[in-house]
Structure 1
Amino acid sequence: MNLMLDDCDTWAVVGLSGNPGRTAYRIARLLQERGKRIVPIHPNAPTVLGEQGYASLADVPFPVEVVDVFRRSESAGEFADQAVAIGAKGVWFQLGVIDEDAFRRTTEQGVAMVMDACPAIEWGRRRG
């Protein structure tokens, strides 16, 4: 977790749209405030928070270090597999997103993974 929060600068945010009422939008904005580059991943490929979006991880023309997944648990595992395929250093499943098989597959490939956690909460815990 610390590797991703401290050392990884480019975060693809799966499920990020331009809706500021959504959690993905708020977390993407926080990532930017923390100096991270965000990459929106959404079927419509919207530009969000000033960053060009892409329809899939495979479409991103530069390296992505962390894939942050805002999808239901039953569809999140495919994004963990895609993260491994593109050479990401880490996969982050947001609060409530749990897929033990995806966790096993991902970590067996040597890719760090966090499940059922939120970067905002984890950064907040460090202040104490």
Structure 2
Amino acid sequence: MRTLCSSTLIGEIFIIGFAGLVAMKDPDLSTQTVWTVCGIAMFVSLMLCGVVTRPGGIALGWALQVGLILAGFVVPLMFFLGAMFAGLWWASVHYGRKIDEAKARFAAQGGPDAGAGASPSPDAA
């Protein structure tokens, strides 16, 4: 799960940066405000890569997804991109858990790396 979720979060860092470039065109927003908000969001996204498997990590990821969707009030395209990344986040969490469960079952059944004293395969003879 960690790999899929981290990949989504890294992609969001780029989207947040590009949204900041678009938001700078708004004459009502100062450059400092735009980059402070974007910088914090990018930093949070990066830090979530490291804590996504810890308790509360997934919930913080969902909070970031909501924030990206709400950014659509400043940059309207972010309604679409935020929803798209929320879907990717859901898929990363959902399928990442399935992959983790399958890996655990495989390891419990005695996969190829389960023990050093594993018997050679019948094809080796």
Shorter-chain TM-score range: under 0.3
Higher relative contact order (CA 8 A, sep 6+): 2
**The structure with more strand, counted as a fraction of residues:** 1
Q: In terms of Rg, which structure is larger?
A: 2
Could you tell me the TM-score, scaled by structure 2's length? Answer: 0.25
